[in-house]
Structure 1
Amino acid sequence: MHYTVLGAGAMGLRYGVLLQQHAGATVDFVDTWQPEVDTVRQQGGVYVSRDGQNKHLVPVNIYTPEEYTGNPDVYVVFCKQMGLAEMLERSAHFFKPHQYALTCMNGMGHIEKLNKYFPAEHVIGGTALVATVLNKAGDVDFIGAEGAGSMNMCPQTEKPDEMTYNVLHDLEKAHFNPNLTDNFVGTLMAKVTFNSVVNTLCTMYKIRMGEFIQGPTAEKLSKQLIDEAYSACEAAGVQLLNTREEEWESVKYVSAVANPLHFPSMYQDFSKGRPTEVDYINGYIYDLGHAHGYEAKTHDFLRNLVHLAEFADNFDVPAFQAEVLGRSERETA
């Protein structure tokens, strides 16, 4: 099988590298971030660590969209929600009718964008409980023991075909522990619900998942957000994979046992001054419920708090102080 990863960030690199190493797949990487492309080429590959240990160089092929001329069987799509439209538009010249798209992106909104280029029969959606950190361009850290993560996947048509099973078997070889489901939207929304708790709260308070879950209000906060998410989905006629209690148990297990030292991807974006995907996670849950007569008010509140934190973190305090001081001096002159 030949895969091309669109988005050579933390998760894109993890999927591509492990498919290359363990499934024997041919893998190419395409990225729009020029420092990533330039650094990987200069190094002759990407530096890979696991939990900060055993850093080593893995040779990979990387291209900008304009340079790429490959013909893969499957595109593995791991862009940020805000950058997906640009990636697809710049990549459209090498898309072909026989090709499939596999995506395990965070949040919601990406399927509609993918369907502009790939029919539902060629889209496989998924979710990944896999923790990975991009330390800097060309340097990635796979968090957790090998094989410790898991993922769900489902064809958009909810009818697996030969390609679906080919991808499933390669992901098994790559140690992603894939589980094939028959509920497309419910599969995706289960991860959105998970992220709406862990990603958002860890980002707000700049803490690791293991720190969050030890907090005295972790269970109460988690269950409140999970309950609202499930109610929003029920109002929209979406059946999630797990029960409310099972979703809480997933939050607890992944935070306390699987990835306690991990800073979620939303925090990684926030800490580097990049826009977060909160509108596609908590915001999506609120908007989904609102469209069907249910108000997930806590999710809307958290969405706005994250945007306030983004604003405050990038606020130019010296310029503000100078402006206020100058205004005060003019008023007293």
Structure 2
Amino acid sequence: MNNPTATSTATAAIPAHPALLSIAVMGAGAVGCYFGAMLARAGHRVTLIGRQAHVQAVQQHGLRLQTATEDIHVPMEASTEVSAVQGADVVLFCVKSTDTETAARQIRPYLSEGALLLTLQNGVDNDERASAVLGDGHPVAPAVVYVATAMAGPGHVRHYGRGELVIAPSARSEQVAQQFAAAGIPTQVSDNVRGALWAKLVINCAYNALSALTQMPYGWLVEQGGVNPLIDDIIDECLAVARADAIALPDNLRAAVHGLPQTMPGQLSSTAQDLARGKLTEIDHLNGYVVRRARAHGMAAPVNNTLLVLVRLAQTPRGGPVH
């Protein structure tokens, strides 16, 4: 997918509405900023919690949301302090999977009782890890995110495609789903979110590392000789581990994996973006998770393990130890 061309520039006003939610975005990267912008423009009170440069840009100009059809600035609150989650009805938990426990401990003293924490993260066990830290009284529901976004600079998020959520049942999930859908975020409540998380995990395992190691988008990858058979090998290993873990996956998953580049051919994986910025990737929670679960069942996952090791090597400073 080519970079979108903005066709309009405007500032989105925030209307008042009695049934609106107070929403905090913990970890205001590309995913959190996109969903935060969609919710804020619909009138919800949204507070982004992120880095200083990003927060300052949002405070001064609003969040710039650039899509294929528009280029707008959405006013909302922003803070560098984790205490800004205080009073939120819903927390969009969008930190990297490597930071789940640390971020959960940071926000725990400030969470309102009954506030719903939605984990909008890569990987399949972030909700369990966050819940173990937060304890009773702080409901956590996993969410599966299907969106192609990237940060184009401080206070500037670009949207390349899709934007739907699948969330697990909770006391507030139906209400949240209705509010999100009204804000233009298609949201489904599902009893098999674990299966949906695993389905996305398989997709991430198939493309994230390859995109990262080549620094190329999905569309280019699948046009190269030998890549599609390699993706099938990755899928086979993931499916074997999922079966061992008794995960119910959709019957058309293989077709969905191979169909991804058609819907977002110009997308670089989040792992590729992290690697390009010199940041720690989430590879241990993607291919690495499959490798760990395979070993727990006495199985091997050599293709996933190879990708895990290669990305670990690529993200390690020259001459440093590989973890």
Q: TM-score, normalised by structure 1?
A: 0.83
Q: Check the 8 A contact 2:26/2:82 in 1, yes or no.
A: no
1:180 aligns with 2:180: no
1:281 to 273, 280, 286: 286
CA gap 1:90/1:120 in 2 versus in 1, 3 angstroms: closer
RMSD value, Cα: 2.1
What is the letter of the counterpart of residue 144 of structure 2? T
Q: What secondary structure, in the 3-state scheme, does the structure 1 residue paired with 2:84 have?
A: coil
Contact in 1 for aligned 2:147/2:163 (Cα 8 Å): yes
Of residues 267, 270, 279, the one that matches 1:262 is 267
Match of 1:50 among 55, 67, 82: 67
Gaps of 5+ in 1: 317-333
Q: Of 34, 39, 44, which aligns to 1:25?
A: 44
Matched, 1:131 2:148: yes
Q: Answer whether contact 1:65 1:87 (CA < 8 A) is retained.
A: no
Aligned position for 1:329: none
1:302 aligns to 2:316 (yes or no): no
Q: Structure 1 CA distance, aligned partners of 2:301 and 2:137?
A: 29
Which letter maps to 1:262?
Answer: Q
Alpha-carbon contact 1:65-1:90 (below 8 Å) kept: no
1:191 maps to a residue whose letter is K
- 1:83-110 deviations in Å (ceiling 9; x for gaps): 2333222222211221111122012442
Structure with greater helix percent: 1
What percentage of residue pairs aligned between the two structures are identical? 25
Aligned equivalent of 1:7:
27
Where do 4+ consecutive residues of structure 1 move more than 6 Å?
none
Read off the aligned partner of 2:123 and give its amino acid letter.
G
Higher Rg of the two aligned structures = 1
Aligned to 1:249: 255
For the 8 Å contact 1:46–1:57, the answer to whether it is kept is yes
Distance 2:115 2:83 in 1: 19
Distance of aligned partners of 1:239 and 1:219 in 2 relative to their CA distance in 1, 3 Å threshold: same
Cα distance in 2 for partners of 1:45, 1:70 equals 21
| Code of the aligned partner of 2:260 | V
Whole-Å separation in 1 of the counterparts to 2:107 and 2:57: 21
The residue number in structure 2 matching 1:326 is none
Q: What do the CA deviations read for 1:9-66 (whole angstroms, capped 9, x no partner)?
A: 10000111101223x32211222x232223322x332222114x74332211011235
Count of aligned residue pairs for this structure pair: 298
One-letter identity of the residue aligned with 1:10: A
The SS at the match of 1:140 is strand
Change beyond 3 A, Cα 1:254–1:65: same
Q: Extract unaligned runs of 5+ from structure 2.
A: 1-20
TM-score by length of 2: 0.85
